[in-house]
Structure 1
Amino acid sequence: MPRKEKKTKRDIGKKEIRRMLYDIFSANPNEHFNYKQLAQRLGIKNMNAKQLIMTVLYEMKNDNMLSEESTGQFKFKISTVYVTGIIDLTAKGTAYLVSDECKEDVFIPQVGLNHALNGDKVKVLLYARSSRRRPEGEVVEILERKKETFVGIIQCSKQYAFLVPTGKQLPYDIFIPLNELNGAKDGEKAIVKITEWPENQKNPIGKVLQVLGTPGDNDTEMNAIMAEFELPVQFPATVEKAAKKIKDAIPEEEIKNRRDFRGITTFTIDPKDAKDFDDALSFRKLKNGNYEVGIHIADVSFYVTPDSTLDKEAYNRATSVYLVDRTIPMLPEHLSNGLCSLRPNEEKLCFSAVFELNENAEVIKQWFGRTVIKSDRRFTYEEAQAMIEGEDGDFKTEIITLNDLAQKLRAARFQNGAIAFDRIEVRFDIDEKGKPTGVYFKRSKEANKLIEEFMLLANKKVAERIGKTKEGQKAKTFVYRIHEQPNTEKLEDFGRFIAKFGYKIRTTSPRQLSSSMNKLMEDVQNRPEQNMIETLAIRTMAKAVYSTVNVGHYGLAFDYYSHFTSPIRRYPDVMTHRLLQRYLDGGRSANAEKYEEMCKHCSDMEQVASNAERASFKYKQVEFMSDKLGENFMGTISGVTQWGFYVELNDTKCEGLVSINELEGDYYEFDEENYCIVGRHHRKVYQLGDQVLVKVAKANLVARQLDFALVESESKNTTPAVTPQTPASRREKPERKFRRGRRGDAASGRKSGKGNRKKK
């Protein structure tokens, strides 16, 4: 995003615009408005923000909130006593409705859920409320089920059976008639589909779709995680057949239509365990002293044509999934590890971004188009890093020069306001049976950053090529990777928290925020609180998503950014390739509404895949600690909730819960506003960042849950006693600033446990 010292209306995000539009329409239910009138009311003059208003208007129309009286003219439609949104279930069985139509989340008691489950899209009737109470309501209609299949353990009796769901997916057991067991036996893990749910019954009725195997078995548990998030494990036979039909040989006429890079020095740099090489760099020094750098990306869109069997499967998956011990690819192996993998000494088809750079890494010329390459060498990051650090090797001069250019690109990016989130990656050593035998940490070094900077350059320049237009021209529909500015309230909460450790951030302007955030990331290096503060800092930021409405990328400080460089594992990159070629050929703008819907699907699937990856990581954490019961470890309090606090072990980063019910010597209560647990009588405080000595009490593999017992705390913190006039039990609860998640989704200080992969 451009760095403005003063906040403008351009900084407003989609959710905020939706709420402001709702306020306008609900206050004027008999009037109709077009986007220009609404922009004028909101004081918005920027064209990108006006386009965002149009997008939100049609989303509100699709959600049955507005009617389109005539083309571009919208009017309020729904009754003010009803709102729609997504159910966020809590550990107690109550829920909150998260809705763009309300400034506050709506509390829903358990009796008011009417069989709505976590993640369901529902219609809620709002109760009348006083000015001092939070909004409450009840579900009157389930508009869309988030999921209908669930994973759990089968429990059988002589007359019937139940599925006891694992994890946090369903708070009820599923009743299964014996004739619907599909061969499942007592104690086995299985996938069950809900077939009906009578209104007067607490438990739904279902049938077994698939038996996964014995709980605790590595393959059973990994497949269970995929099933829990409704991700496919195998490709359908029709998809595999379609992939194998594609011939290995490149047609000669296709080569003639492409720019030929086969005679130019080209190589790949990837992790040592990588099998799919979707990017390569070419390098040569030009006669004028400048450098030509080619970023060559596997031309997946040549092999995967629109609406084909392969394309539909790739779109449905939208992304590859990286579990701890395996990869579930977006494309069949014949493509991902074969035809589209830029293996050395093989001719490959690519889509390329080629730049002429001067010694200051400034772009002098650029070219985009389809190419044919032949990689000379495959490097691992370790091999490239060794040469950067002084060892001799093939193409050392090229790698050293590219590294120098990459460092200049990186310096310019941070000078412009980019934020550095170089997270430590926690990895497990895995034996042949999938069992974790050790933990190690990976840091991004110069070789990683070399590749990262050139991939960022390609993604940025591709987006600029289509999105950056002359004054008066309208940009054509394109797929952008956008990242909005962080929420002010979250920043204030984060600032208060880090102040307890002696750190601070400045939020007066975006530039000040980015520079102070970068300084914070430097200051926490090698400190016990490093991982926790880095995790919280990332959570303070907005989440990057895909959209046809460009608002820039705040974290990278780019006005235009797309995903172009990983089409083997990300479907949005395939979309980008197709649109770029269409426009290079002089084609008309694509349908924005269609592509926005595709962007939303890809963003949603990216989140689902991320959740599955975290679940697999959590399972391996529990498995790794399962033979260490009774052992003591030092750790840092990384999350605080109403049911206890989470502790991240300092040496392995494994995380477990110390239950509030197990804390001795006092009656402890959760102080949500200050992220701490406080003893009612002695005022002992356990808060984020405290160092504690804990014992491994329980390792539940089925629930993917570690339980710790407190041995000793280094915290000496106490708080003033609550006065008799305001006993703790009667104090009014603070406003709900964070989601009250289920166990394992702590409101504050929660972490993903998954570092960044190779590229953004």
Structure 2
Amino acid sequence: MNGNSNGGFSGKGRRFSLSAAYISFYYGRRTLSAKETLLQYFENETLSGKTFTEIAKFLKVSHREKKSLLALLDSLCDEGALYVTGGGKYGTPEQLGLIKGTLSGNERGFAFLVPENKALYGDDFFIPHKNLHGALHGDTVYAERVYGRSDDEAEVVRIVERGYTEIVGTFWKDKNAGCLHPDEKKYFEDIYIPLSKCFNIPDGVKAVARITEYPFGRAPGGEIVEVLGEGDDFFAEELSIIRSYKLREEFPEGIEAEAERQAAKKPSQAEIENRRDFREKTIVTIDGEDTRDIDDAVSLEKDGELYVLGVHIADVSHYVKYRSPLDKEAFARGTSVYFPDRVLPMLPRALSNGICSLNEGEDRLALSCIMRIDEKGAVKDSEIVESVIRSTHRMTYTEVTKMLDGDGETCEKYADVKDMVSLFAEVTHILKAMREKRGSIELDVKEAKIMLDKNGEIVIPDYDRSLSHEIIEQFMVLANETVAEYMHSIEMPFVYRIHEKPSEEKASMFREFAQNLGLKAKFSADEVKPYDYQKLLKAAEELPIFPVLNRVMLRSMQKARYSPVNAGHFGLASACYCHFTSPIRRYPDLCIHRIIKEVLDGKYAEGAERYNGFVSEAAVQSSECERRAAEAEREVDALYTTMYMSDKIGENYEAVISGVAAFGLFAELPNTIEGFIPLETLEGEFEFIPERFLLKGNKESYSIGEKVRVKVESVDFEQRRTRFSLLAKEA
């Protein structure tokens, strides 16, 4: 590059100049801002590792312009794009060897840094309290390694983003000030509340504090924004859990009103005429007794040798437009969240329980996937259409089960669909056989059904899974596959539901475990196939080891997630899969409905341009919302089961060992409630062998899946855990 007379420099096709006001960089017709220009020089490593003096010299900045350059560097540092070392060298955090991650605190005041790049940094880093420099649990930070006593220690050098803006806890005050003691034990600092902002709030209540300041060297400051109830109140404790996951039932101002406006818009005759009219077809919905947001309906008939299966899904996208306030709220929520006593819906009830719900006898707009299936379960032909339907019956799983069992009263009540229900069962068996032949993994995964009866008592029946549940599951899975395969074939931007194969390490451990059980597990750990897992399950199907194999296999698998890139679904042995069937309660389904309708309307190019980047955002956001919802549901369920078991202290139960750890055993009752048996209550000395999920003793050994008899000893509401004692191990 050649120097020039005005203190800048120029090169072929571009010109760089600096003034007191700005830096600009011209390349072709595009003009970059000052920050973009400087940052680009760091990103291509031209300025990486240089001091301010070296940067100014390289850019040939005059003395009077150095102040402006320093301001730009400071601004980039404040934004986290650059970092300056103690020695004055500038660079991007990655260039300077900084580690970005999230802090996981400990109630004793230290923390661990969980790196964002797990591939580069396999292990977490220990950060003692003195090296946190005001960072707290949940914060996103940059840290640098500290080499001393160990190689896994680090020190926070920059707080990128605070993890908590609001936090739940118990409120206390004295004559000087108030404080909120967080429920989250990893958040080891109390929140200081000025007395002027809390004088009317009683001691001991559960509350939510908004954190307003982080004074260096002192506790965070804040204000109480919501009182949840008395500290010992069960429902206040439940609400505390819900708030701790940043979940709310109430919608922001204006969203409910907008939902009601949309719900009041009845489809015009012109809109209906542009759709396939299925209102005269026999279509039913099958759900739980307490379901209010009905987003799927089914129809089935025989046409010669083929079965014509219709899966009709509520057309929520007709009412929730892309990028509208309703859509942005649905995107933020990601999913509806279900608790024993309440639902936090993704969409306001005017939509979720109203105009979008496929209620019996009411005209509803839908997206219908019509599939023609042969006697082997293969889809010979399919089409996806915008439709209008009218549900003939709102049926329940219990009623369908009774019909399949030949209950006279129920069969008489639904005489007009009796033959169709029989066809449901016939096709379900065909589809199950097809999936089994393909290698689908049929795990026995139990989920507790926790309910409140009419008297407000907690009811947790023994786990039961009927054919009626399998009917809907098989039909929805087939529709999800059919839709995904079509959209993948035309290379449209899309949100897939993927389930990647187990990691080589997990697959290898599971293979060894299966071999120790006496099974022939010969699959390659780095190329494990669904069929390999299915074959092991079938080999153990009639053996006592089946429950333990089932549990350990489940733990070896990865979690399913959403992705803009198709990677197949390992558990279903499916080459292509998505979530299409629940747009009322899942955002990915709503998102792909819009994309499908773009294709149906002949707007492929416009749709591809509109959603090309958005599908990645939707996949990441929806996966995170799903994880958060699952954790919240699990914690609330644990609270309910603890309360339920508090009335069962002293009672004896049959159970199955569901977990083995160095500190004791976990045992599961037939209703899926899990309790803990401490190691110190077991007779003998023990060695924990993790790869075999075994607690090996000098008198008795314990492994996952073994049957035991237990006694309920106590419950711990703080830990939300039930403690058992072991009475006997069954032979």
TM-score normalised to structure 2 length: 0.78
Alignment of 1:542-553 (within 5 A): 542-553=558-569
Quote the residue 2:587 is aligned against: 571
Match of 1:427 among 442, 449, 470: 449
**Is the 1:637–1:691 Cα contact (8 Å) retained in structure 2?**
yes
Quote the residue 1:450 is aligned against: 471
Match of 1:615 among 627, 635, 645: 635
* Alpha-carbon distance in structure 2 between the residues aligned to 1:322 and 1:673: 35
Letter of the structure 1 residue corresponding to residue 722 of structure 2: L
Alignment of 1:129-528 (within 5 A): 135-168=152-185, 170-181=187-198, 183-201=200-218, 203-246=219-262, 247=264, 249-286=266-303, 288-391=304-407, 392=411, 393-432=415-454, 434-443=456-465, 445-469=466-490, 475-497=491-513, 505-508=521-524, 513-521=529-537
Q: Note if 1:701 corresponds to 2:723.
A: no
Q: Note if 1:596 corresponds to 2:610.
A: no
Letter of the structure 1 residue corresponding to residue 626 of structure 2: E
Quote the residue 1:719 is aligned against: none
* Alpha-carbon distance in structure 2 between the residues aligned to 1:343 and 1:174: 48
* Alpha-carbon distance in structure 2 between the residues aligned to 1:349 and 1:151: 41
* Alpha-carbon distance in structure 2 between the residues aligned to 1:238 and 1:528: 58
Letter of the structure 2 residue corresponding to residue 451 of structure 1: I
Shift of 1:541: 1.2
| 1:529–1:196 distance in 2 versus 1, CA, 3 Å | farther
**Is the 1:216–1:701 Cα contact (8 Å) retained in structure 2?**
no
* Alpha-carbon distance in structure 1 between the residues aligned to 2:102 and 2:309: 47
**Is the 1:566–1:573 Cα contact (8 Å) retained in structure 2?**
yes
Cα distance per residue 1:422-442 (max 9 Å; x no partner) = 422322342346441443212
* Alpha-carbon distance in structure 2 between the residues aligned to 1:664 and 1:284: 59
Percent identity over paired residues: 34
Deviates more, 1:151-160 or 1:691-700: 691-700
Cα distance per residue 1:162-209 (max 9 Å; x no partner) = 3222255523333333223374321111112222333323x4333211
Letter of the structure 2 residue corresponding to residue 186 of structure 1: D
Letter of the structure 1 residue corresponding to residue 401 of structure 2: Q
Letter of the structure 1 residue corresponding to residue 635 of structure 2: A
Letter of the structure 2 residue corresponding to residue 627 of structure 1: D
Alignment of 1:651-662 (within 5 A): 651-659=670-678, 662=680
* Alpha-carbon distance in structure 2 between the residues aligned to 1:705 and 1:183: 34
| 1:354–1:671 distance in 2 versus 1, CA, 3 Å | closer
Q: Note if 1:627 corresponds to 2:627.
A: no
| 1:405–1:215 distance in 2 versus 1, CA, 3 Å | same
* Alpha-carbon distance in structure 2 between the residues aligned to 1:231 and 1:343: 28
SS at match of 2:370: strand
TM-score normalised to structure 1 length: 0.76
**Is the 1:417–1:511 Cα contact (8 Å) retained in structure 2?**
no
| 1:124–1:155 distance in 2 versus 1, CA, 3 Å | same
Quote the residue 1:587 is aligned against: 604
Instruction: Quote the RMSD (CA, aligned, Å).
Output: 3.6
SS at match of 1:605: helix
Shift of 1:501: 5.2
Cα distance per residue 1:226-257 (max 9 Å; x no partner) = 10100112123411111112326331111111
**Is the 1:167–1:704 Cα contact (8 Å) retained in structure 2?**
no
| 1:496–1:383 distance in 2 versus 1, CA, 3 Å | same
**Is the 1:528–1:636 Cα contact (8 Å) retained in structure 2?**
no
* Alpha-carbon distance in structure 1 between the residues aligned to 2:259 and 2:617: 26
Match of 1:539 among 550, 555, 563: 555
Quote the residue 1:95 is aligned against: 112
Which gives a bigger RCO, structure 1 or 2 (Cα 8 Å, sep 6+)? Answer: 1
Deviates more, 1:93-102 or 1:141-150: 93-102
| 1:671–1:63 distance in 2 versus 1, CA, 3 Å | farther
SS at match of 2:574: coil
Quote the residue 1:606 is aligned against: 626
Quote the residue 1:108 is aligned against: 126
* Alpha-carbon distance in structure 1 between the residues aligned to 2:375 and 2:690: 53
* Alpha-carbon distance in structure 1 between the residues aligned to 2:445 and 2:405: 22
Quote the residue 1:85 is aligned against: 101
| 1:483–1:512 distance in 2 versus 1, CA, 3 Å | closer
* Alpha-carbon distance in structure 2 between the residues aligned to 1:127 and 1:407: 61
| 1:530–1:651 distance in 2 versus 1, CA, 3 Å | farther
* Alpha-carbon distance in structure 2 between the residues aligned to 1:498 and 1:547: 31
* Alpha-carbon distance in structure 1 between the residues aligned to 2:105 and 2:551: 24
SS at match of 1:221: helix
Deviates more, 1:183-192 or 1:357-366: 357-366
Letter of the structure 2 residue corresponding to residue 417 of structure 1: G
| 1:411–1:595 distance in 2 versus 1, CA, 3 Å | same
Quote the residue 1:650 is aligned against: 669
SS at match of 2:420: helix
* Alpha-carbon distance in structure 2 between the residues aligned to 1:683 and 1:63: 59
* Alpha-carbon distance in structure 2 between the residues aligned to 1:329 and 1:89: 31
Shift of 1:212: 0.1
**Is the 2:494–2:564 Cα contact (8 Å) retained in structure 1?**
yes
Cα distance per residue 1:295-333 (max 9 Å; x no partner) = 110000001111222212111111000112222111111
* Alpha-carbon distance in structure 2 between the residues aligned to 1:463 and 1:182: 58
SS at match of 1:414: helix
**Is the 1:264–1:283 Cα contact (8 Å) retained in structure 2?**
no
Alignment of 1:684-699 (within 5 A): 688=704, 695-699=711-715
Letter of the structure 2 residue corresponding to residue 261 of structure 1: F
